């Protein structure tokens, strides 16, 4: 019996350790939506090479009150597994999204993992007038086309991740431009079958925003802009319309009815509000703790005549800016981004800046997100606005490269490095030698010499 218990404990510990190594995370694109609005659940995990991931299968719902709109195809980039679920909900209040399970098959081993619970706040409808504010009719007969936004999404899906990683930034950009040219050419051949043959205007439609609507015949006859999801669109790409046909309808949005927010109390909503408060006002809680510690120190010292904390003089380390400049100089000399290692370049650059902030201000910046670091400087640490802009540029560009696979231009890489040097230079600590300390050290040395001379004479 004891052996069985020990075996089960060892298996549990192994599973926990394995789950920690997989670095499983799940997050919502927006944790607060209007009822019926859509958002994404994004799952990521670090998995061993050559592993197979079997995700949990869903029908129409993820869980109670959470509806599945689209189950996006999973992606495995190196050892990183990612998958998105497009969801919505029609129940107001705080809805709990149950853990999502998936299995990882690696060789002969099969492990099952689950994500953490998520909380989705669903706000009531924004009221819309029953009478449309404006209905847009076709002024001409022709074919309906929508802007293609330069085929950005199609191009990124067309190029495999292995190709992106093996190419330099400039070569990859040239490849994107060539694919874009071919896609526009193919699109033009399809459109020309409708009788619309103006190549220059076809190019402008292909590069236009996806919310832009065109009615074309021999030329572009009219252009409209569909502002958002609230508007109702009655036509599709390639549809033939006659003059006077309805294209889309705009609606007038009224003020939100506050009474709709009087939903019944539940514990999920309570813990959501607590979590939101702590995430937004953590700095205020920190100030209260610091103020409490100072008050305790003053009261204790007044009562007992001494400090509750022993005053220990610690030998100063190297200044934070010296370490940062040394690492930045090394990054500049190595120029790894020129060899296609753009992601590694920005990781090293931001790690250096995060370590500098940690050493300079005593903030654990290495464990903080970009938004948390920027909020800290906005709320508690006074620096120039230009230095804030430099810091924002470095961190946000690095996030785009690391998480969105954005490929910056050479000028962007150089700008991040220059901003890193300037940020450290402008915020470095000015070290001034204390004259009292110098004088005290000189007096100690003088007394030491006098004592030694006196001892020599007596001898």
- Residue range 312-321, pLDDT digits in tens: 334 346 888 9
Q: Check whether 419 has a pLDDT greater than 70.
A: yes
- Do 144 and 65 lie in one domain? The reply is no
- Do 284 and 324 lie in one domain? The reply is no
- Do 294 and 197 lie in one domain? The reply is no
- Do 84 and 165 lie in one domain? The reply is no
| Strand extents, DSSP E, 89-167 | 93-97, 101-106, 109-114, 118-123, 134-137, 142-146
Our count of domains for the chain comes to 4
Q: Check whether 134 has a pLDDT greater than 80.
A: no
Residue 307's pLDDT band (cuts 50, 70, 90): very low
Mean pLDDT across the stretch 46-54? 82
Contacts of residue 52, Cβ cutoff 8 Å, sequence gap at least 6:
104, 105, 106
Q: Check whether 264 has a pLDDT greater than 60.
A: no
Alpha-helical (H) ranges within 57-198 are: 152-158, 161-166, 169-192
Domain assignment present for residue 347? The answer is yes
pLDDT (tens digit, 9 = 90+) per residue, 187-215?
999 889 888 999 999 999 999 988 889 99
| Cβ–Cβ under 8 Å, residues 87 and 38 | yes
Mean pLDDT across the stretch 54-66? 84
- Do 51 and 152 lie in one domain? The reply is no
What integer pLDDT is reported at residue 242 of this predicted model? 92
Task: Report residue 158 as tokens.
Answer: 């067309």
Q: Report which of 115, 75, 70, 79 is spatially closest to residue 97, judged by C-alpha positions.
A: 115
Mean pLDDT across the stretch 273-286? 79
Contacts of residue 119, Cβ cutoff 8 Å, sequence gap at least 6:
31, 94, 95, 96, 97, 268, 271, 272, 275
- Do 107 and 214 lie in one domain? The reply is no
What integer pLDDT is reported at residue 450 of this predicted model? 58
Q: Check whether 446 has a pLDDT greater than 60.
A: no
Domain assignment present for residue 440? The answer is no
Domain assignment present for residue 262? The answer is no
- Among the residue ranges 127-131, 138-142, 221-225, 361-365, the one predicted with the least confidence is 127-131
- Do 329 and 245 lie in one domain? The reply is no
Mean pLDDT across the stretch 423-427? 91
Task: Report residue 377 as tokens.
Answer: 């400087």
The CATH number of the domain holding residue 84 is 2.60.40.10
Residue located via tokens 């400049």 = 325
Mean pLDDT across the stretch 322-329? 91
Mean pLDDT across the stretch 214-242? 82
Domain boundary among 102, 123, 144: 123
Its domain, for residue 177, covers 134-250
- Do 358 and 377 lie in one domain? The reply is yes
- Do 228 and 202 lie in one domain? The reply is yes
Helix-helix angle 320-334:342-361, to 10 degrees: 170
What integer pLDDT is reported at residue 406 of this predicted model? 83
Q: Tell me how far apart the alpha carbons of residues 186 and 394 are, in angstroms, rounded to a whole number.
A: 38
Identify the three-state secondary structure at position 207.
coil
Domain boundary among 70, 90, 123: 123
């Amino acid at each position: 019996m004891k052996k069985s218990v020990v075996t089960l404990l060892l298996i549990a510990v192994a599973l926990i350790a394995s789950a920690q190594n997989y670095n499983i995370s799940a997050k919502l694109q927006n944790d607060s939506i209007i009822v019926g609005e859509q958002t994404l659940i994004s799952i990521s995990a670090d998995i061993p090479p050559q592993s197979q991931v079997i995700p949990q299968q869903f029908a129409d719902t993820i869980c109670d009150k959470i509806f599945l709109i689209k189950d996006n195809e999973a992606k495995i980039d190196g050892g990183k597994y990612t998958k998105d679920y497009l969801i919505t909900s029609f129940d107001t209040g705080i809805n709990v999204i149950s853990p999502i399970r998936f299995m990882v098959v690696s060789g002969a081993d099969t492990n099952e993992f689950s994500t953490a619970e998520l909380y989705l706040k669903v706000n009531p409808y924004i009221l819309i007038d029953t009478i449309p504010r404006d209905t847009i009719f076709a002024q001409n007969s022709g074919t309906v086309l929508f802007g293609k936004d330069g085929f950005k999404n199609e191009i990124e899906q067309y190029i495999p991740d292995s190709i992106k990683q093996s190419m330099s930034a400039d070569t990859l950009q040239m490849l994107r431009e060539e694919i874009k040219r071919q896609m526009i050419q193919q699109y033009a051949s399809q459109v020309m079958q409708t009788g619309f043959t103006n190549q220059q205007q076809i190019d402008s439609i292909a590069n236009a925003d996806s919310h832009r609507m065109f009615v074309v015949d021999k030329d572009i006859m009219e252009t409209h802009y569909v502002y958002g999801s609230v508007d109702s669109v009655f036509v599709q790409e390639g549809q033939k319309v006659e003059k006077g046909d309805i294209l889309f309808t705009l609606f007038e949005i009224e003020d939100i009815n506050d009474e709709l927010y009087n939903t019944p109390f539940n514990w999920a909503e309570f813990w959501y509000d607590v979590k939101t408060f702590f995430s937004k006002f953590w700095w205020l809680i920190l100030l209260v703790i610091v103020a409490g510690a100072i008050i305790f120190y003053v009261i204790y010292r007044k009562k007992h005549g001494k400090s509750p904390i022993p005053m220990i003089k610690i030998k100063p380390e190297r200044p934070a800016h010296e370490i940062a400049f040394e690492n930045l100089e090394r990054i500049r000399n190595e120029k790894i981004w020129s060899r296609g290692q753009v992601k590694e370049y920005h990781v090293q650059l931001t790690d250096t800046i995060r370590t500098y902030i940690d050493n300079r201000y005593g903030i654990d910046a290495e464990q903080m997100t970009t938004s948390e670091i920027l909020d800290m400087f906005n709320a508690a640490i006074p620096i120039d606005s230009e230095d804030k802009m430099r810091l924002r540029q470095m961190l946000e560009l690095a996030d785009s490269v690391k998480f969105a696979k954005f490929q910056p231009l050479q000028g962007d890489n150089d700008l991040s490095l220059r901003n890193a040097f300037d940020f450290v230079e402008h915020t470095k600590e000015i070290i001034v030698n204390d004259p009292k300390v110098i004088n005290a050290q000189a007096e100690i040395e003088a007394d030491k010499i006098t004592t030694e001379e006196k001892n020599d004479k007596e001898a």
